Amino acid sequence: VKAALGLGRQKLVAHLYKLLVYEKGSFFLPHRDGEKLDRMVATLVIGLPAAHDGGELVVSHDSRSHEVIFQGAAVGHELSYAAFYADCQHEVRPVRSGYRLCLTYNLTLARSRCKQGIAAPSYESTAAAIGKLLGDWSKGADEFRLAVTLDHRYTQDGLSIDKLKGVDRARADVLFQAAEQADCIAHLALVTLWQSGQAEGGYDDYSYGYGRGRRYHWSDDEDEMDNDETTSEYDMGEVYDWSLSADHWSDRAGKKVLLGEIQLKEDEIVSDEPLQEAQPNREDFEGYTGNAGMTLERWYHRAAVVIWPRAKHFHVLCSAGTDASVGGFAAMVRRLKRTSKAKHETLCQECSSFATAIIDSWQPAYRGYAWEKRNTGRDAFPAALCELDDPALVESFLSKTMPTDGIVQLDKSFGKFCKKHGWQRFEKPLTTVLEASSAATIGRNAEMLRILCTLRDRNSERIEVCSRLCARAAKAFEAFDGESGKPEWQS
């Protein structure tokens, strides 16, 4: 099974899921299995010896279908088995006589202790040809990005280079290799098309739940149909609104990259078919309300390798917003550790230029409600600045950015940085942060003080600076509390 699925030297683990019993007339309508376990890649079905007629397994993907008869099990003499990727659509045709018995297993990839990824086949000639195409494109393209879609379906948790299936792994390897040859940057990401519009069609007995796609059942066991596909009773009429974005990024080594949600354009998608031609991954339906008609929202997810020229890296990330810029900057700083001495100074200068552009274009994060814990990844920026070891940039960040953005926070690495370069140097910008306390930043500022004041050292300079900061913070908080201006909902 492992060899047929193209998983090379990876180890598969089979987890018994269920014993299924089909009697005469039983069947299973077309569906896809959800990823029930972490690192699940496929489903294994073992037919047990039990004489029966019918009950053929039909597996479909990418306009192709394959019928599995389980001949040995059907005559009652031996075991039969079939395995297929978890996102392949499959169905069981009606049993005409006898009993069809089978065990189903979830197949997962075992975690490897080896830090290196699985060695992929060599695609040198193909990568060279595509690399030339990417090189020509990057020199004269009006658009700075390409999102090349993959065939199989993946969840955001199941999307990484080592979990790609079959031809997708080969396609991603070629694209990453070609992008490097063309001096481009490539990431694996999940592309999402969202549409909101008029619902048309449907049936009066639509009783599968408000806001849910239709679910098929061959028994009363709902867990059996935890799939990632929506089969809708409705058609999308006029589209009122839509968006196209990429998120859940990872690099060629499989490491997560916090670029946030980056908006895409339609002509940046490279796909055999439009995203909306496939079945939606999720659908929300709302019936008639007052004078309003039926409305429909749909989400289509596709894995893709997203590519842009390295020369346009800063432009792409800064234009995509602060979260994308911060994620890209943190990844650049991590690269410094792996860079040769000859290239280290050049990359440091690039990092400093990028950091300056991020600070100048910083957009405060939407705070949301107090009970919403949002991980924007922005906390990585001050930590990366400290790692870059540029005091002037840290001062600029404290003075320009932190007074207005209450999401971003300092960590203990900032204390080590101040000890190295002198606490008094950063007293003035920290005072600026505290004195600008607002509804969006006052809670963060109090937490920042706690972090700085409770560092486990007896550095006298830090203690003196923190004492003065606390006194100024108290006055700033009292002044904020006494303001009689327009109330802010965040208060």
Q: Which pLDDT tens digit goes with each residue over 403-460?
A: 989 888 998 889 999 999 999 999 999 999 999 988 888 999 999 999 999 988 888 9
Query: 458: helix, coil or strand?
Result: coil
In angstroms, how far is the first alpha carbon of the chain from the final one? 59
Amino acid identity for residue 167 in this structure = V
Token pair recorded at residue 148 = 């090349």
Provide the pLDDT for residue 202.
61
Provide the pLDDT for residue 7.
77
Closest CA relative to residue 67, chosen from 82, 57, 75:
57
Query: 341: helix, coil or strand?
Result: helix
Provide the pLDDT for residue 450.
94
**Distance separating alpha carbons of residues 326 and 17, to the nearest angstrom:** 42
Task: Give all strands (DSSP E) within 271-416, no chain letters.
Answer: 282-286, 295-309
Provide the pLDDT for residue 207.
37
Provide the pLDDT for residue 489.
58
Residue 454 contacts by C-beta under 8 Å, 6 or more apart in sequence? none
Task: Give all strands (DSSP E) within 324-364, no chain letters.
Answer: none
Secondary structure element (H or E) that encloses residue 190, with its range: strand 184-201
Task: Give the full edge-to-edge strand order of the sheet including 40-47.
Answer: 12-22, 100-109, 40-47, 80-85
Query: 399: helix, coil or strand?
Result: helix
Provide the pLDDT for residue 270.
93
**CA-CA-CA-CA torsion for 159, 164, 168, 171, nearest 10 degrees?**
90
Q: Are 143 and 312 in contact (CB under 8 A)?
A: no
- Residues of the chain with pLDDT below 50 are 115-120, 203-230, 369-374
Provide the pLDDT for residue 220.
32
Residue 75 contacts by C-beta under 8 Å, 6 or more apart in sequence? 51
Give me the numbers of helices (H) and strands (E) for the chain, helices first please.
12, 18
**Distance separating alpha carbons of residues 266 and 423, to the nearest angstrom:** 50
